Amino acid sequence: MAHLLYLVRHGEQLDAEHGVEDGRLSGRGVRQAHAIAQRLSGVHFDHAWTSPLQRATETAEIMQERLPAVTFERSALLLDCIPSGLEPGTPVGFHRFLQSVRPAESEAGAAQMQDAAGQWLRPSRGDVNELLITHNFVISWFVREVMQSPSWQWMALNQANCGLTIIRRRTGKPPQLVAHNDLGHLPPEDRTGMPMPQPY
């Protein structure tokens, strides 16, 4: 019996490089969404969720065209967030970015991800496949949680747009990272969106 969690970062957002916080997908983002949908078309999903932000919901809508049996539910637990703040032991290279984050923002992000882990990183009875369309930092936090790494470790992980990460949970056993940022379904010219969390 296994609980498989499929995590997908949304497709490339149009004008994200110009500081636009949210918006529709670029042409390449649309192609990425079609490609990941094709990749997952043979999987039966018992549940599916998406972040409420436009770039994620549009990715989900495109994927649903090829996965007609899947109904996406929006969840605020999948919103883009800062999962932790500056803590003792955080590498110096990450200090500048975290010092720019308000404590209230990182505290809210940490609480959000604690609730998200409680909902999705849990064993289940029977074989269950769940699909989540979300954001870079959220997926990084899930991976960090599975690996039981220090809180700051999410900053050292990045996912490409429509990259695929798979986590397995089994009763009585620790979670397992089956795949991380798999891009085999994307041609090289469509592999985008792996930003560093802070400038160097």
Q: Is residue 75 part of a domain?
A: yes
**Is 103 a member of any domain?**
yes
pLDDT digits (tens, 9 = 90+) for 32-63: 999 999 999 999 999 999 999 999 999 999 99
- Give the residue with greater pLDDT, 102 vs 20: 102
pTM comes to: 0.93
State the average pLDDT for the chain. 92
With respect to residue 195, please indicate whether it lies within any of the assigned structural domains. Answer: no
Statement: residue 16 has pLDDT above 50:
yes
Burial 12-34 (b: 16+ CB within 10 A, else e): bbbebeeeeeeeebbebbbbbbb
Task: Looking at 67-193, list the stretches that DSSP marks H as alpha helix, in order from N- to C-terminal side.
Answer: 95-99, 103-120, 136-147
Residue 64: strand, helix, or coil? helix
Q: Is the model's pLDDT at 122 over the cut of 90?
A: no
> What are 63-88's pLDDT values in tens digits?
999 998 999 999 999 999 999 999 99
Mean pLDDT score, 101-108: 95
Q: What is the mean pLDDT of residues 95-112?
A: 95
Strand partners, 51: none
**Angle CA 103–109–113, to nearest 5:** 145
Classify residue 72 as left (phi > 0), alpha (psi -120 to 50) or beta.
beta
Residue 115 lies in a domain: yes
> Into how many domains does the chain fold?
1
**pLDDT at position 197:** 52
- Is residue 73 in some structural domain? yes
CA gap 33, 44 in Å, rounded? 18
Does residue 82 belong to any structural domain of this protein?
yes
pLDDT at 174 (0 to 100): 83
pLDDT at 20 over 70: no
Q: Percentage of residues in the chain with pLDDT exceeding 70?
A: 94
Q: What is the CATH number of the domain that holds 172?
A: 3.40.50.1240
The 10s digit of each residue's pLDDT in 148-181 is 999 999 999 999 999 999 999 888 888 899 999 9
Q: Which residues pair with 48 in a beta bridge?
A: 72, 131
Q: Residue written as tokens 């994927």? A: 63
CB-based contacts of 47, cutoff 8 Å, min separation 6: 73, 128, 130, 131
Number of neighbours of residue 1 by Cβ within 10 angstroms: 11
Domain assignment present for residue 158? The answer is yes
DSSP symbol at 46:
S
For residues 78-104, give the mean pLDDT.
Answer: 94
Higher pLDDT among residues 1 and 2, named by residue? 2
What is the per-residue pLDDT for 200? 37
196: in domain: no
Looking at residue 1, its pLDDT comes to: 62
**What domain range is 179 assigned to?**
3-190
